[in-house]
C-alpha cells in the first residue's frame, strides 16, 4: 500500500486562512487541537490552532507566539467560528475537556453533542493489551508504530520553563499539524466501532459533567490549612522534645540530633542506645526505615515516637504546602479527573488526589513516664461549602460486594441487602448457620474479611497472613464460604475460564478490559491474572454504575434546582460530594439525588446510598429525615468555628487526651506501601477506604513518601489483601 501523502500547511495570511476555512466548510468531520502556554485555561493563553479534515492533511494557525508574523486571535476566531460551531459536523478532539476550555478565548463554543473524544474512543475500544495509557502520542506509537515528537524535544537541552509560545512557528507547525492529523486518524479507526456501544455513550455523556465538576471546584479554608500545619509542627516539636528526654534518661546526657537525618538517627538508636538491629540496608548498615522502626516500636517507645514525628512532618507539609498550592484565586481547589485513569473504568483524581485526603490523622505519643496521649487532625475539615450552603455526601453502600453477588445471582445476599440488613453480618449468618441477630461483631468482621478477600482474589494463604490462623483452618473457612454461597464460587470459576481464552474480561454493561498479566509469560504472572480478572469485572461494573450515577444526578440537579444552588464539588470511587444552598432542605434534595445516582439494573437490587451532611467535609454527620436542619446547621457552624479557633490557638483538646494503656487494645502503627503503578495506588486507596482506622498508610515511590490515610488493618493484613492482585508489592 502506498504511503499516504502528508500535506501540512502553515497559515499566516488572511488569504491562507480563507483557503483553510473553505476546506472546513465542506468537511463533515474536523479534528481540532490547540497549543497553549500551559494547562490552566483561567491564566494560560492559546498559542495556535491545528485542524485536520482527512488523513495526512492539516493546518496550523499561530496566534500567540512571541516571535514571528501571525494573524490576530480575534480574526482567526471569527473565521473558524462558523465551521466549528456548525452542528451538522462532527468535531474531533483528543481530551476535549482541555480544548473546549481554551476555545472560548477564540470566541468559539462548540456544542458538546457534536464532539467526539479520541482519548475516550481508544479507551472504550480497548483494542490491544499494549495500550494502557491514552495520551495521543502513546496511542500513535502503539497503533501506528510512529513516534511523534515529544513536547520537550521542541526546546533546547537544559530548558527549565517550557512555554511553546517561545518556540519558532515553523518548528511548532509540523508538531501541531501532526497532532491534529493523528487525532483524525484515531477517530477514523474507532468511531464506527464504538459509537453504538453503551459504554462509549456513557463516557461521552460524562466528560462534560466531569469538566463541570472540575470547573466548579471545592472551596477550601486556607486559614484552617495554615493553622493545622502550624499546629502539627508545634506538636511535632513537643514530640521531638519527648524523644530527646528519652535519650537523656537512657544515657544520662542530653544530646541534640536531627531526626530527619537517617545517619544521626542510626547513630543515636543503635550505637548510643544499643537497640537491636532488626533490618539492614542494602549496604549492610542498620536501617532506620519505617519497617525497621516499626519492628522495634512495640518494645521501644522511642521508635514509635520517631515514626509519629516523621508522619507529623509529612502531614504538615501536605496541608501547609502541597494542598495549599492547589488553592486557586477563587479560593477553591480544582482537582482533575481522568475518565481513562484505570483499565476498570474508574476515574483517577490528581492535583490533588481527592481520594487520598484522609478523614482522620491520629498519632499516639508515649511520654517519658510511659503514659500516652493522642494528637488528632481532620484534613478533610479544610474543605467547606460556599457561604450560605451546606455539604452533602452520598456514598454507595457495599457496592462492589453487591456487584459480585448480583453477577453470581446469590439471592440470599441480595435479599438481605434489599431489606436493609448489613451484608457482612448477613454473610456470617448464612455461612455460620445462625440467626442474623446473634452474629457477633467478631464474626461480622471475619465475614467482611472473607467478602473482600474473594473480590481481591485471595486464597487460604492470603487469609492466613491477615488472620493469624493456619492455612488449613483458612482453607476450611473458604470451603465453607463457597459451600454456603455456591453460585458465587461458580461465577468466579466461569469468569476465570473465559478470561483464560480471551485474556480479557467484560463488565455487566459491556466495558472490555485486558488482563495484561496473561501476556507476561511467567507462571507467577499467569497466577496473578487468575486473581485479577474477577476483581476487574466487579470493580469495573461498580465504576460503570458510579459513572451512570454522576451523569444522572448532575443532569437532574441542573434541571431541578440549577447549578448555582446544587452543585457537585468532588467525587471519589464510590461517593459524590455536593454543596447545596441552605434554602433547600436536605429532606428535599437527598431522596431525589439518591434516586438519580442509583439506576435500576436488571437482576440487581437498587444500590443503597448512605447520606451525610455538614458544614465541612471532615465533620459530616449522618443524614436524618426527622432533623430540623435549620437549627442543626447553626450547631454545626459553631462546632466548625470552635475547631478553627482551637487549631489557631494550638490547644485542640485531643492534644491532652490521655490514652490509658488498657484502652489501647491494638498498637497504632505506621506502614509504608511501595508502589510502582497507578493500579497499585488505586488498590491501596480502596482498601484504606474499606477499612478505615488509625494506622497511618504511606505510599512510597521514587524515594518519596506520601501519607494517604489511615486504616484499621496492620501491615500483614494490608500485605495479605494486596498480594493476590499485586504479588510484587511490599508493605512494611
Strand 566-572 and strand 575-581: the pairing is antiparallel
E-state strands within 225-326: none
What is the distance between the alpha carbons of residues 227 and 320, in angstroms, rounded to a whole number? 8
Q: CA 512 to CA 55: how far, in whole Å?
A: 28
* Average of per-residue pLDDT across 418-433: 92
Q: What is the percentage of the chain residues whose pLDDT exceeds 70? A: 90
Quick: pLDDT tens for 17-56. Answer: 999 999 999 999 999 999 999 999 999 999 999 999 999 9
Of 693, 632, 701, nearest to 672 by C-alpha is 701
The 10s digit of each residue's pLDDT in 377-410 is 899 999 999 999 999 999 999 999 999 999 999 9
d(CA 93, CA 112): 11
By the 8 A CB rule, do 52 and 183 touch? yes
Residues with Cβ within 8 Å of residue 76, at least 6 apart in sequence = 17, 49, 61, 63, 106
Kindly state the cell numbers that stand for 644: 478553627
Q: What are residue 671's DSSP bridge partners?
A: 697
> Grid coordinates standing for 428?
456470617
Q: Compute the distance between CA of residue 529 and CA of residue 498 in angstroms, rounded to an integer.
A: 12
Q: Does domain 7-195 have CATH number 3.30.420.10?
A: yes
Q: What is the mean pLDDT of residues 610-628?
A: 95
Per residue in 66-103, pLDDT (tens digit) is 999 999 999 999 999 999 999 999 999 999 999 999 99
More confident: 680 or 601: 601
Banded pLDDT at 655 (limits 50, 70, 90): very low
Q: Among the ranges 132-141, 179-188, 354-363, 682-691, which has the highest mean pLDDT value?
A: 179-188
Tell me, what's the pLDDT at 522?
Answer: 77
Give residue 665's pLDDT: 29
Considering only residues 663 and 116, tell me which one the structure prediction assigns the higher pLDDT.
116
Nearest CA to 185 among 118, 272, 91? 118
For the chain, give every domain's residue range. Answer: 7-195, 400-506
The pLDDT of residue 305 is 95
**Cell matching residue 173:** 507547525
Amino acid at each position: 500500500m502506498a504511503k499516504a501523502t502528508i500535506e501540512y500547511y502553515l497559515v499566516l495570511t488572511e488569504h491562507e486562512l480563507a483557503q483553510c476555512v473553505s476546506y472546513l466548510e465542506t468537511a463533515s468531520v474536523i479534528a481540532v487541537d490547540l497549543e497553549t502556554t500551559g494547562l490552566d485555561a483561567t491564566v494560560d493563553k492559546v498559542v495556535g490552532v491545528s485542524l485536520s479534515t482527512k488523513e495526512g492533511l492539516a493546518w496550523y494557525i499561530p496566534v500567540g507566539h512571541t516571535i514571528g508574523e501571525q494573524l490576530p486571535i480575534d480574526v482567526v476566531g471569527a473565521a473558524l467560528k462558523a465551521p466549528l460551531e456548525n452542528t451538522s459536523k462532527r468535531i474531533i478532539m483528543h481530551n476535549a475537556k482541555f480544548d473546549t476550555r481554551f476555545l472560548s478565548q477564540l470566541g468559539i463554543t462548540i456544542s458538546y453533542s457534536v464532539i467526539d473524544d479520541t482519548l475516550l474512543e481508544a479507551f472504550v475500544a480497548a483494542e490491544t493489551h499494549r495500550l494502557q495509557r491514552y495520551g495521543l502520542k502513546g496511542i500513535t506509537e502503539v497503533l501506528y508504530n510512529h513516534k511523534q515528537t515529544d513536547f520537550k524535544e521542541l526546546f533546547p537541552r537544559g530548558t527549565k520553563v517550557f512555554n511553546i509560545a517561545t518556540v519558532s512557528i515553523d518548528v511548532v507547525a509540523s508538531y501541531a499539524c501532526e497532532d491534529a492529523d493523528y487525532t483524525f486518524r484515531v477517530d477514523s479507526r474507532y468511531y464506527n466501532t464504538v459509537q453504538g456501544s453503551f459504554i462509549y455513550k456513557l463516557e461521552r455523556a460524562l466528560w462534560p459533567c466531569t469538566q463541570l465538576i472540575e470547573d466548579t471546584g471545592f472551596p477550601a479554608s486556607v486559614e484552617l490549612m495554615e493553622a493545622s500545619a502550624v499546629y502539627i509542627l508545634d506538636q511535632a516539636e513537643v514530640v521531638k522534645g519527648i524523644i530527646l528526654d528519652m535519650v537523656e534518661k537512657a544515657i544520662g546526657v542530653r544530646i541534640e540530633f536531627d531526626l530527619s537525618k537517617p545517619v544521626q538517627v542510626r547513630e543515636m538508636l543503635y550505637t548510643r542506645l544499643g537497640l537491636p538491629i532488626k533490618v539492614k540496608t542494602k549496604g549492610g548498615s542498620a536501617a532506620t526505615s519505617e519497617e525497621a522502626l516499626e519492628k522495634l516500636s512495640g518494645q521501644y517507645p522511642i521508635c514509635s515516637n520517631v515514626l509519629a514525628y516523621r508522619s507529623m512532618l509529612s502531614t504538615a507539609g501536605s496541608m501547609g504546602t502541597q494542598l495549599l498550592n492547589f488553592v486557586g484565586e477563587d479560593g477553591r481547589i480544582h482537582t482533575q479527573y481522568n475518565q481513562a485513569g484505570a483499565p476498570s473504568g474508574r476515574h483517577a483524581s490528581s492535583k490533588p488526589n481527592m481520594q487520598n485526603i484522609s478523614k482522620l490523622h491520629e498519632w499516639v505519643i508515649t511520654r517519658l513516664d510511659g503514659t500516652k496521649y493522642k494528637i488528632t487532625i481532620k484534613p478533610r475539615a479544610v474543605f467547606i461549602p460556599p457561604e450560605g450552603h451546606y455539604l452533602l455526601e452520598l456514598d454507595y453502600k457495599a457496592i462492589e460486594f453487591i456487584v459480585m453477588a448480583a453477577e453470581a445471582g446469590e439471592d440470599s445476599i441480595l435479599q438481605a441487602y434489599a431489606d436493609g440488613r448489613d451484608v457482612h453480618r448477613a454473610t456470617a449468618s448464612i455461612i455460620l448457620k445462625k440467626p442474623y441477630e446473634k452474629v457477633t461483631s467478631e464474626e461480622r468482621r471475619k465475614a467482611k474479611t472473607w467478602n473482600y478477600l474473594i473480590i481481591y482474589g485471595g486464597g487460604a494463604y492470603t487469609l492466613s497472613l491477615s488472620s493469624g490462623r493456619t492455612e488449613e483452618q483458612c482453607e476450611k473457612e473458604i470451603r465453607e464460604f463457597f459451600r454456603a454461597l455456591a453460585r458465587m464460587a461458580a461465577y468466579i470459576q466461569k469468569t476465570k475460564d473465559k478470561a483464560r481464552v480471551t485474556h480479557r474480561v467484560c463488565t455487566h454493561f459491556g466495558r472490555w478490559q485486558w488482563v495484561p498479566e496473561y501476556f507476561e509469560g511467567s507462571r507467577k504472572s499467569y497466577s496473578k491474572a487468575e486473581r485479577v480478572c474477577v476483581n476487574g469485572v466487579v470493580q469495573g461494573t461498580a465504576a460503570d454504575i458510579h459513572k451512570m450515577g454522576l451523569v444522572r444526578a448532575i443532569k437532574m440537579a441542573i434541571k431541578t434546582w440549577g447549578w448555582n444552588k446544587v452543585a457537585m464539588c468532588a467525587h471519589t470511587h464510590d461517593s459524590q460530594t455536593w454543596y447545596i444552598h441552605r434554602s433547600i432542605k436536605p429532606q428535599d434534595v437527598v431522596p431525589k439525588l439518591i434516586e438519580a445516582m442509583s439506576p435500576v439494573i436488571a437482576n440487581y437490587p437498587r444500590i443503597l446510598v448512605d447520606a451525610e451532611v455538614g458544614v465541612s467535609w471532615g465533620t459530616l454527620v449522618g443524614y436524618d429525615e426527622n432533623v430540623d436542619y435549620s437549627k442543626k446547621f447553626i450547631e454545626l457552624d459553631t462546632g466548625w468555628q470552635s475547631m478553627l479557633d482551637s487549631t489557631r490557638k494550638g490547644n485542640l483538646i485531643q492534644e491532652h487526651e490521655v490514652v490509658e494503656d488498657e484502652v489501647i487494645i491494638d498498637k497504632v502503627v505506621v506502614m509504608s506501601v511501595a508502589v510502582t503503578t497507578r493500579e497499585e495506588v488505586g488498590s491501596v486507596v480502596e482498601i484504606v477506604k474499606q477499612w478505615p482506622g488509625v494506622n497511618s498508610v504511606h505510599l512510597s515511590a521514587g524515594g518519596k513518601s506520601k501519607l494517604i490515610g489511615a486504616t484499621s488493618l496492620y501491615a500483614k493484613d494490608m500485605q495479605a489483601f494486596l498480594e493476590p492482585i499485586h504479588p510484587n508489592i511490599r508493605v512494611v
